[in-house]
Structures are given as C-alpha cells and as structure tokens.
Amino acid sequence: MSLTTAHSVVAPSANSKRIAGVIIVAYALISIVPLLWIFATSFKTPPDSIAYPPKIVFQPSLEGYCNLFTTRTRQTPEYINSLGPATGLCDATVRKRNMVIAGPSNFVPRFVNSLIIAFGSTFCAVFLGTLSAYGFSRFKVPLADDLLFFILSTRFMPPIAVAIPIYLMYRELGLSDTALGMILLYTAVNVSLAVWLLKGFIDEIPREYEEAAMIDGYTRLQAFWRTVLPQATTGIAATAIFCLIFAWNEYAFAALLTSGTAQTAPPFIPTIIGEGGQDWPAVAAGTTIFLVPILVFTILLRKQLLRGITFGAVRK
C-alpha cells in the first residue's frame, strides 16, 4: 500500500493506524509491568526487595538465584571464618548472611517434573485430539454431534469441582504424586479443547487430497500422514501451545495431587518463601525461569499461533 492511494475504503488511514498503535503499546506496557517487576525483583537483594518506597534503581545481585538453587543453614560467624575461602559466587554471597550452602534445592527436579508432565500431556492431548478430530471430520460417526457435545461438556465445570473424587481415585489407583497420573489428568482436560480446535482445522482441508492419495495407492492412514498432517501443522501448533500453556500453569490439581517426587514447579515455587524469611528474590527468580520454556515455545511457533487464533480465517 503506497502513500499515494488516498481514501481507500479498506485500508486503514494513517490516523487510525496511529491511534491503534498507541492503544496497543499502552496495553502491552500495562501487561508487561508485572513481568518486569518480577524480573527486576529476581535480581534484588532480600532487603532491597521489601524496601519502601520500592527501589527502581538498585545494585543487581544474584542472591535470589543462589537461594533458589540451594538450601542453606545458619552458622555462627566463628564457624564461617574457620572455613576456607568461598568456592564460588553463591558461596560468598550466602556467607555474608551468616549461612553456608547445605546442598542443592528441589527446584531443578521440580522444574524437570513440570517439563515432563506439561510436554508429555500436550503430546498425548494433541495426538489423541488430531486422530479423533480427523475421525469426526471425515467419517459418519453415529451420534457425532452428541459425542462432540459430551467431549466439550467435560470443560463446563471448573476442574477443581472434581478435585476430591479425582484425589480419592488417584489414591486408590496409586497415581497420586506420579508423573503418569499428572500426564493422564492434563491430557484428559486438554483433549476436549484439542478435538474441537483441530476439528475446525481439519474440516477446512478438502477431502479430495486424501481421496487423490488413496486412488494413487496409499492406505487411508498413509494418506492422512502424507497429505492431511502436513496441511494441519498450523492448527496442530496452535492447539499444542494452548494445551501446553494450560498444563504448564496448572496449579490447583498439582498442589492437591503432587507433594513429593512428581511435584511440578507451580506448587513448589511458593514454598521457597518459607525457607529463611521472606525470600522474594528467590521466588521471583523461580518465576522468571519458569516463564522461559513457554516463552521460547511461543516465540518459535508464533506464526502458527497467530493464525490459530484467527481459526484459519486467513488460510487462503
């Protein structure tokens, strides 16, 4: 669109573009302030983090990250002085607070749990969702509308409403505090979303593609794999992001059903604060690191996500 085409009916004018830009920038700033605050807090010292008025300019420190990854014990100054020289930056930092590092914290295993459970359940939900969506889209499924409604109805109530029965079931089945149990649970919650989103995408792929492939000597499954799947990547990527965001951020079930070996990061991060005073920088550090995978995943798939939000309206 060149500047010489004045008064186009469809192209936005320079003025409306400017106004839209201002609104978007303002909204982005408002949304990003809490994130910036958490990011800044993660580099403050504990005293700086609770200073009033809040410090905008401060001396950055890695104490929050040190505290996040370690457990520490309080010792007398005499004992600390009797130790040899500090073995690293974190060691030196905690000694200034009359503490020594006792060992690694549980943050890394909890973070790994989150990765396994979130990506595992996303994969399962998208895999099952793609196959069911294809089935609903292409075959005459008896009672298809009722089944689709039933699948959707699993999302009608807040998940926490079924927390107690699920808690009891999981205890009986031995799924409490296991990664498998959490993957099953998040898959069950996400699969309805996946079926509905993906059915829309697959409905838009003309069936002539598979028919042509089947005439050319492919079985239906091969035709699905070679012709439908490559064209559904946009929808699959968008669905995967939505599923991943849910599973990654889920707190209520994780707090209820995991306490030890399978605990995910969301219920773990708040517990950091209890270890030795109000350690806001460590909590902020945990939150900052927690945001990274979803940020990377979203940036990698941002094109597909944008198209996914418009539900294929701009496909052709």
Partner 1 sequence: MADVRIQGVTKRFGDTVAINNLDLAIKDGEFVVLLGPTGAGKTTTLRLIAGLERPDSGTIHVGGHDATTLSPAERDTAFVFQQYSLYPHLSVFDNLAFPLRSPARRFPEEAVRRRVEDVARMVRIDHKLDNRSTKLSGGEMQRVAIGRALVRKPAIYLMDEPLSSLDAKLRADLRLELKRIQSELGATMLYVTHDQIEAMTMADRIGILADGVLVQIGTPRAIYSEPANLHVAARLGQPAINLLPAGLLPDGGAPTGTATIGARTEHLAIEKAANGHADGVVDWVEHLGDQNHLHVTVGAKKLVTLTDPDTPLAKGDKVTIRYIAPLYFGSDGQRLM
Residues of this chain that bind partner 1 (CB under 8 A)? 206, 208-209, 211-219, 222, 226-227, 230-231
CB of 206 vs partner 1, minimal distance in Å? 4
Spatial separation of the C-alpha atoms in residues 125 and 119, rounded to whole Å: 10
Beta strands in the chain (DSSP E): 70-74, 99-104
For the chain, the straight-line distance linking the first and the last C-alpha, in angstroms and rounded, comes to 20
Instruction: Report the candidate in 246, 245, 265 with the shortest Cα–Cα distance to residue 254.
Output: 265
Provide the Cα torsion 163, 165, 169, 174; round to 10°. Answer: 30
| Choice between 174 and 206, CB closer to partner 1 | 206
CB of 223 to partner 1, least distance (A): 9
**Which residue's CB is nearer to partner 1, number 7 or number 316?**
316
Give exposure, 231-266, as e/b (b: 16+ Cβ within 10 Å): ebebbbbbbbbbbbebbbebeebbbbbbeeebbbbb
Q: What is the CB neighbour count within 10 angstroms for residue 158?
A: 9
What is the 8-class DSSP label of residue 99?
E
Closest approach, Cβ 132 to partner 1, in A, equals: 23
Shortest gap between Cβ of 221 and partner 1 (angstroms)?
10
What is d(CA 28, CA 25) in angstroms, rounded to the nearest whole number?
5
* Diameter of the chain measured on Cα atoms: 84
- The nearest distance, CB 185 to partner 1, in angstroms, is 35
Task: Give me the least distance between CB of 304 and partner 1, in Å please.
Answer: 14
